[in-house]
Amino acid sequence: MPIRTSRHGPGRIRPSEITPKDVWLDRRTLLRNAGFGLAALAAPAAFWPRLAHARRKFDDLVKSKWTVDEEPTSLDDITSYNNFYEFGTGKGDPARYSGDFKPLPWSIRVGGECEKPGVIDYEDLIGSFGVEERVYRFRCVEAWSMIVPWAGIQLDRVLARFQPTSKAKYVAFETVYRPEEMRGQQRGFLDWPYVEGLRIDEAMHPLTLLAVGIYGEELPNQNGAPVRLVVPWKYGYKSIKSIVSITFTETEPPTTWNIQAPHEYGFYSNVNPERSHPRWSQARERRLGGGLFAKKIATLKFNGYEEEVGPLYAGMDLIRHH
- 9 belongs to a structural domain: no
- pLDDT tens digits, residue range 2-18? 434 343 343 444 443 44
The whole-angstrom separation of Cα 316 and Cα 28 is 41
Percent of the chain with pLDDT over 90: 76
At residue 222, does pLDDT exceed 70? Answer: yes
Residue 70 pLDDT level (bands cut at 50, 70, 90): very high
- 144 belongs to a structural domain: yes
Q: How many domains does the chain have?
A: 1
- 175 belongs to a structural domain: yes
Bridge partners, residue 245, by sequence: 109, 174
- Where is pLDDT greater, at 291 or 111? 111
At residue 146, does pLDDT exceed 50? Answer: yes
38 DSSP assignment: H
- 4 belongs to a structural domain: no
At residue 85, does pLDDT exceed 60? Answer: yes
Domain of 131?
A: 15-313
Question: For the chain, how far is it from start to end, CA to CA, in angstroms?
Answer: 22
- pLDDT tens digits, residue range 128-145? 999 999 999 999 878 899
- 232 belongs to a structural domain: yes
Q: pLDDT value at position 19? A: 41
pTM summary value: 0.86
Average pLDDT over residues 195-222: 98
Q: pLDDT value at position 12? A: 45
Per-residue burial over 177-199, b if 16 or more Cβ lie within 10 Å, else e, is ebeebbbbbebbbbbbbbbbbbb
Residue 87 pLDDT level (bands cut at 50, 70, 90): very high
Bridge partners, residue 196, by sequence: 173
- 321 belongs to a structural domain: no
Distances (CA, A) of 283 to 15, 254, 258: 21, 27, 21
Structural element, H or E, at residue 69? none
CATH number for the domain that contains residue 84: 3.90.420.10
- 10 belongs to a structural domain: no
- 8 belongs to a structural domain: no
